[in-house]
Amino acid sequence: MSTVKTQYLGNAILVGLDKPEKRNAMDEQMIDELHAVLDDAVRGEPKILVLHSLVENVFVSGADISELINRNADSAMRSINAGLFEKLERFRWPTIAVINGYALGGGCELAMACDLRLASPRARFGQPELDLGILAGAGGNWRLPQLVGVAMARRLLYTGEIIDAEKALSCGLIDYVHEEGSLMEAALELAETISNRSWRALELTKLSLGLNRQPTTTLDIVAQALLFESDDKRTRMQAFLDRRKRS
């Protein structure tokens, strides 16, 4: 069954993540489906892409650890997650992430790959990768400090602290907080406001802003390849899976 549902609504394309049995943990199926959605959307009429979750109280809980535990250096060099987030970042027109729940690890990195982020008070953000013996290699090591500053990024990456929506707003990780009942409406209003601008000027502005990005992705990929082969990574991920079975 598809884990990604799309809906065209005016000048927006709604991309809904729908994998309730794994709390939207990202596996290769979801990643492949998101690639396909982006490939189709970029060939169509200009649209604002609105990325959201169809699963209650979660945006994306992170990568699917049951799949990640078996990834090796070759998998890291394929940049499975990072490649998708790079494509999302390069999408021709503006993108909006709508977060109504947990956005952890790869989920936080996915949200950061979007141009704008709206969240409800239920949203939570964090980068727990170091607990699993890996690093935030899909953009967290450079998108996070770009948004919140190096000091706050160190704090979140080193400690694995999970912050709420108000803290995320105050440090610049997200752009707006709206109550849960009005969150999607606010996202669509924002999409409509943006879509009233010149599409070509939006596209060129996004290209120009992209020139400011940090070129650290290659280092992250190589570092992740080294960590993916470590016994520490496998031990920590197995412990995570065992805890989840008991809960």
Average of per-residue pLDDT across 188-209: 96
Average of per-residue pLDDT across 172-177: 98
Question: Do the beta carbons of residue 225 and residue 56 sit within 8 Å?
Answer: no
Model confidence at 168, in pLDDT bands (50, 70, 90)? very high
Q: Which residues are catalytic?
A: 109, 129
Average of per-residue pLDDT across 191-210: 96
pLDDT for 214 beyond 70: no
Report the half-sphere exposure of 190 (CA within 13 A, side-chain side): 22
User: 25-54: per-residue pLDDT in tens?
Assistant: 999 999 999 999 999 999 999 999 999 999
Most distant CA pair in the chain, distance: 53
Domain ranges for the chain: 4-195
What was the pLDDT predicted at 79?
Answer: 80
Model confidence at 136, in pLDDT bands (50, 70, 90)? very high
Sequence-ordered alpha helix ranges (H) in the chain: 28-42, 65-68, 73-77, 80-89, 106-112, 140-148, 150-159, 165-171, 183-195, 199-210, 217-228, 231-246
pLDDT for 181 beyond 80: yes
Model confidence at 222, in pLDDT bands (50, 70, 90)? confident
CA distance 179 to 153: 26
The pTM of this model reads 0.92
Q: Which is more confidently placed, 161 or 230?
A: 161
The candidate with the shortest Cα–Cα distance to 63, out of 100, 97, 30, is: 30
Tell me the CATH class for 4-195.
alpha beta
User: 56-100: per-residue pLDDT in tens?
Assistant: 999 999 988 888 888 888 877 878 888 999 999 999 999 999 999
pLDDT for 215 beyond 70: no
What interhelical angle do 140-148 and 217-228 show, nearest 10?
A: 130
Report the half-sphere exposure of 198 (CA within 13 A, side-chain side): 4
Is residue 177 left, alpha or beta, with left meaning phi > 0 and alpha meaning psi from -120 to 50?
A: beta
Q: Is 242 exposed, middle or buried (0-12, 13-18, 19+ CB in 10 A)?
A: exposed
Model confidence at 246, in pLDDT bands (50, 70, 90)? confident
CA distance 230 to 238: 13
The Cα-based distances of 133 to 17, 58, 139, 165, 182 in angstroms read 27, 23, 17, 27, 38
Structure tokens at 156: 């979140």
List the beta bridge partners of residue 12. 9, 48
